[in-house]
Chain A
Amino acid sequence: MTHPLAPVGSALAARAVRYVLIGVSGANLYGPGGQAVFTTDDFDLFLPADADNLVNAWAACEEAGLDLWLGDEPLDRPRDRWLADRIVPQRALTRGTGPDGLQVDLTLVMKGFEFETVWPERRAFLVEGVEIPTARLLYIVMSKQAAGRLKDQLFLTTHKDALEQLLKPPK
């Protein structure tokens, strides 16, 4: 597998982890194959506030060779239900890092949306044969608008141009 998300997605699927890909990397998947729309090495995975699901997500990331972090510190061990029960109420983000700058954020927050709203309308895209549940593009851009950070606003501005390019008929 050459796409860094494929091994992670495969491990997540094997453990039946519920998540959707959001953020810039999610928006990118709506572009045509083989063309970058926006560059990013980060993958934002939105998970429900479910401790067991989070434990399984951690295990899957470890199986895929990622190191897990909570803030600047390695995630405590054992990475079990007890630990997840303390992280979920705070909606704290855990991060997986891997080779070549790969960064996979396990977030329990998608600004403006609840997981159970996003999940039923996910698009299951295939990356090297692995199903990657991806949030609707509409929800991704609306969440970015709700977040309102400067980087989100700049993304939305340039993204509109990119969408117009995507819709142009091929020459």
Chain B
Amino acid sequence: MDPDLERALRGLEEAAEFARTYRFEMTEDYLELVARVEALPRNQAGADKSGRWLGSRHYWDSIERGRFIDSKP
């Protein structure tokens, strides 16, 4: 088997194993972060969030503009 393919398949297996066993733990630290973000002035009622969609769209546009680069010499 091609070594690159073998390495890729091994990586996928490891990722699948991680996904099966991973458990996220909610911590006080996390909840404190959430509270601080909620309390930011820009996150109070009436805040203008019109720019949010542009970020997502630009992300997908950047992927569509992407091109494959062969890393092999």
Residues of A that sit less than 8 Å from B by CB: 2-6, 28-37, 39-41, 123-128, 132, 136-138, 141-142, 145, 150, 152-154, 156-157, 160, 163-164, 166-167
Contact = CB atoms under 8 A, between A and B. Distances in A.
A30 B37 contact: yes
A33 B48 contact: yes
Identify whether the interface residues of A are mostly helix, strand, loop, or mixed.
Answer: mixed
Contact of B52 (A3, A145, A166): A3
A156 B26 contact: yes
A150 B17 CA distance: 12
A17 B37 CA distance: 28
B53 A4 contact: yes
Nearest to B47: A125
A36 B59 contact: yes
A126 B50 contact: yes
A160 B33 contact: yes
Interface residues of B, number: 32
B52 A28 contact: yes
Given A29-B52, A125-B49, A150-B19, A39 B37 contact: no
B47 A138 contact: no
Contacts of B47: 123, 125-126
Given A123-B45, A126-B46, A153-B22, A33 B52 contact: yes
B53 A5 contact: yes
A145 B26 contact: yes
A153 B23 CA distance: 7
Interface string B3-24: 0000000000000000100111
A163 B50 CA distance: 20
B56 interface: yes
